Amino acid sequence: MAYRVLVTDDVDPEGLALLAAETELLVDEVPTLPKDELLRRIGDYDAIVGRSATKISAELLRAAKKLRVVGRAGVGVDNIALDVATELGVAIINAPAGNTVAVAELFFGTVIGLLRQLPAAALSMQNGVWDRSKLMGRELKGKTLGIVGLGRIGSEVAMRAHAFGMTVVAFDPYIADERFTALRVRRAASLDALIAESNILTMHVPLNDETRGMIGKRELGRLPARSIVVNMARGGIVDEAALLAALEADQLRGAVLDVFTAEPLVADSPLRTAPNLLLTPHLGANTVEAQRNVSRDVCLAVRDALLHNDLSKSINVAGGSGEWGDLQPAMLVARRAAAVARAVLADQGMRAVRRLALRIGPDLAHGAGPLLAAAAAGVLEGVIETDRLNLINARSLAEARGLELSVGESNELGHPRAIEIALAGGMQQLAVAGVAPEDSKPRLTRIGQFHVDVNPRQTLLILTNHDVPGVIGRVGTLLGERKVNIAEYHQARLAQGGDALAAISVDGAVSEETRKALLELPDVLTASVAHFGAE
Ligand SMILES: NC(=O)c1ccc[n+]([C@@H]2O[C@H](COP(=O)([O-])OP(=O)(O)OC[C@H]3O[C@@H](n4cnc5c(N)ncnc54)[C@H](O)[C@@H]3O)[C@@H](O)[C@H]2O)c1
Ligand SMILES: O=C(O)CC[C@@H](O)C(=O)O
């Protein structure tokens, strides 16, 4: 099966060649498309790869009936309707690391340019002038650099700032003290405290509700006199009108903006003529090296998502780390154990599951997010009407139906790679457990109190019966007569002569008629069927 990939914007060819090399991928490269044309064409594609110029709106995502993956050749995903993508099960993949150094270098290039008046100097030389006295500059050495956001770019800026002899202070409540220490950066107690001592204040945070307008009139007024403000993160983090007013009032030494609330910046924007404002047209990531890096990173991840269902690079699959391949068998157990628990409870009359509690052994703790998503998908499989139930949207779809989800690590499951799903609703509860060893096939090991040992393949039939002679034979004969091939038959009992449970793995489907016929057999008490979706 071939997948179609639409590439918009200017994505570096090195990454695109990796996509084009795959016979199962058909790549169409187009320039940045007008909104309406993109809307018209998107329905044909399984994936779209682009940069910040292409807006992946809710409307576009809803029109993209085949879309499985959005690849963003860069960091910021503020051009993508992330919630809608998650709801629809569309993977969002970005390239978070490849352009970090490019932004950090542009920071020093522009700040030094501003401090040494390089744009004015270059212009004066072009105009035949030789006036050195007007072009007196300032040094970075000894100045205090205040960094808001000590993530990838903030860290690279901090490291380089030491080489210039600057004092480096940062505000980032989400970063641990150890990271500050490792970077030799002093932690500011608050944003206000950082602002109060920053000769140069630079923003390296994502744009979100917390950071929009973070630096406004009040904050600009609290900077030391003649400070510099830099925004290379996203337009809107520094309030443009307040910045303009502060520059016009000569309250600041200057500012650098690489990003704008509306891009491209309109030709007659007052920012273009503001004093001491150095503007660049969103050039942070515009180096040959950075574009090659992000293009390769995103294209490899899009390829793996489409061809190998590897969603480990997808930012909307919650909280997975480590090897995706290593988690696959455990995700299969989680999904199938949940489907078994749901099927058995449904036959006991409990259809409205209210709680799903996942417990995992310590060796699977790194995969808690994807495993919980897999379990949620197992509960919803065959129950909800959607053509795109997957690891991306399973949790949000389950929660939207009022299902409470929880996950915890446990040493009491008997195996470091064990998985237990407990479903509950009303007074009823059922736990189904399994293991996903590294060196053998995944197995279901417990259904309720019964210990079983069965590989959950296409369909699992779960029977309870009186533990009396002849039941296994009668069940086997009935299934044989109905051409249902048994792959594994595992009988478990709690005590001789009491109740017993059979976990029967069969090839193909088991019809409702066959299930009812099984219930008619002497000594069979219940019969449940869990049909598993595609792996
Ligand atoms: N100009 C460009 O071309 C360009 C290129 C790449 C990235 N960017 C932008 O730069 C920004 C930073 O990118 P990054 O790769 O370093 O991201 P990152 O996720 O590595 O770092 C962001 C940091 O901000 C911190 N943070 C979040 N909210 C905060 C808050 N309210 N107060 C203080 N700190 C907060 C986070 O803890 C994190 O450490 C993003 O907005 C990204 O879109 C711009
Ligand atoms: O060049 C781009 O597409 C934007 C780069 C940058 O802002 C990013 O988010 O990675």
Q: Give yes or no: 282 in active site.
A: yes
Give yes or no for a contact between 241 and 269, defined as CB atoms under 8 angstroms apart. no
Strand order in the sheet with 3-7: 25-29, 3-7, 47-50, 69-72, 91-94
Largest CA distance in the chain: 107
Task: Answer whether 75 contacts ligand 2 (Cβ < 6 A).
Answer: yes
CA 17 to chain centre: 25
Centroid of ligand 2 to alpha carbon of 75 (angstroms): 6
Give yes or no for a contact between 312 and 325, defined as CB atoms under 8 angstroms apart. no
Task: Answer whether 425 contacts ligand 2 (Cβ < 6 A).
Answer: no
Spatial separation of the C-alpha atoms in residues 223 and 225, rounded to whole Å: 6
> Which class would CATH give 3-98+290-308?
alpha beta
Among 68, 72, 160, 234, the active-site one is 234
Q: Give yes or no: 482 in active site.
A: no
Give yes or no for a contact between 47 and 24, defined as CB atoms under 8 angstroms apart. no
Query: What is the model's pLDDT at position 490?
Result: 92
Alpha helix (H) residue ranges in 164-322: 177-182, 191-197, 217-222, 240-248, 288-308
Query: What is the model's pLDDT at position 328?
Result: 87
Two structure tokens written together for 24: 């199962």
Q: 10 Å Cβ neighbour count for 179?
A: 15
Going by C-alpha positions, the residue among 149, 160, 151, 118 that lies closest to residue 135 is 118
Parse the chain into domains and list their residue ranges: 3-98+290-308, 100-279, 325-531
The residue whose CA is least distant from atom 18 of ligand 1 is 151
Query: What is the model's pLDDT at position 313?
Result: 85
∠ CA 271-274-149, rounded to 5°: 65
**Best mutation site among 7, 12, 106, 282 for ligand 2 pocket (most ligand atoms within 8 Å of CB):** 282
Q: How far is CA 367 from CA 58, 327, 332, 360, 435, in A?
A: 29, 7, 13, 9, 14
* ipTM of the complex as predicted: 0.99
Query: What is the model's pLDDT at position 396?
Result: 84
Give yes or no for a contact between 454 and 447, defined as CB atoms under 8 angstroms apart. no
Query: What is the model's pLDDT at position 323?
Result: 63
Task: Answer whether 51 contacts ligand 1 (Cβ < 6 A).
Answer: no
Spatial separation of the C-alpha atoms in residues 384 and 381, rounded to whole Å: 7
**Best mutation site among 51, 79, 153 for ligand 2 pocket (most ligand atoms within 8 Å of CB):** 51
**HSE, side-chain direction, 13 A CA sphere, residue 104:** 20
Task: Answer whether 80 contacts ligand 1 (Cβ < 6 A).
Answer: no
Query: What is the model's pLDDT at position 534?
Result: 56
DSSP 317: S
Centroid of ligand 2 to alpha carbon of 280 (angstroms): 13
CA 66 to chain centre: 20
Centroid of ligand 2 to alpha carbon of 285 (angstroms): 6
Give yes or no for a contact between 55 and 79, defined as CB atoms under 8 angstroms apart. yes
Q: Looking at ligand 1, which atom is closest to the CA of residue 154?
A: 16
Give yes or no for a contact between 187 and 170, defined as CB atoms under 8 angstroms apart. yes
Q: Give yes or no: 308 in active site.
A: no
Two structure tokens written together for 134: 């007007």
- Per-residue pLDDT of the chain (535 residues), as tens digits, is 799 999 999 999 999 999 999 999 999 999 999 999 999 999 999 999 999 999 999 999 999 999 999 999 999 899 999 989 988 889 999 998 899 999 999 999 999 999 999 999 999 999 999 999 999 999 999 999 999 999 999 999 999 999 999 999 999 998 889 999 999 999 999 999 999 999 999 999 999 889 999 999 999 999 999 999 999 999 999 999 999 999 999 999 999 999 999 999 999 999 999 999 999 999 999 999 999 999 999 999 999 999 988 888 888 875 544 566 788 899 999 999 999 999 999 988 888 889 999 999 999 998 999 999 999 999 998 777 666 788 888 998 898 888 999 999 999 999 999 999 999 987 889 999 999 999 899 999 999 999 999 998 889 999 999 998 899 999 999 999 999 999 999 999 887 778 899 999 999 889 999 999 999 999 999 999 998 865 5
The residue whose CA is least distant from atom 38 of ligand 1 is 151
Task: Give the pTM.
Answer: 0.79
The residue whose CA is least distant from atom 4 of ligand 2 is 52
Q: Which ligand is nearest to the CA of 208?
A: 1
The answer as to CATH 3.40.50.720 being correct for domain 100-279 is yes
Domain 3-98+290-308 and domain 325-531, same fold? Reply is: no
Which CATH number does the domain 325-531 belong to among 3.30.70.2190, 3.30.1330.90, 3.40.50.2000, 3.30.470.10?
Answer: 3.30.1330.90
